[in-house]
Amino acid sequence: MARVTQFGVIPVFRGLEGRLAVQKEMRFSSEDEARRAGKIFAEVLGGAVAFRRVSDPETGAAEAGEIIGRYGILADASISPKVKGAIGFETSSAA
């Protein structure tokens, strides 16, 4: 059973009515790349969450993700249940 650590970013932007819109997850090869991308998405779209998650490619099983960075409009905000769900968090867990 091989375990692989994945890194990614979930970009988020604030829509016209003020609602946060979660975009599709993007994966990166390292934690540094995910953090850099999070900062860039925050500048362009308004916010992003960078994360790491351990998974087993053979079985498709993945552990709960861990937030490694919050940027832009998400830097001081609690993470929405939709974002937590996108990276495998329980919606009731603290970010």
- Residue extents of the structural domains in the chain: 4-86
| Statement: residue 90 has pLDDT above 50 | no
Q: Residue 88 has what pLDDT?
A: 56
Distance separating alpha carbons of residues 53 and 28, to the nearest angstrom: 12
Pairing assessment for the beta strands 46-56 and 4-14 based on DSSP bridges: antiparallel
What's this model's pTM, rounded to 2 decimal places?
A: 0.75
Helical residues (DSSP H) of 1-95, grouped into ranges: 31-44, 81-86
Q: Are the beta carbons of 51 and 87 closer than 8 angstroms?
A: yes
The mean predicted confidence, pLDDT, of the chain is 83
Bridge partners (DSSP) of residue 4 are 55
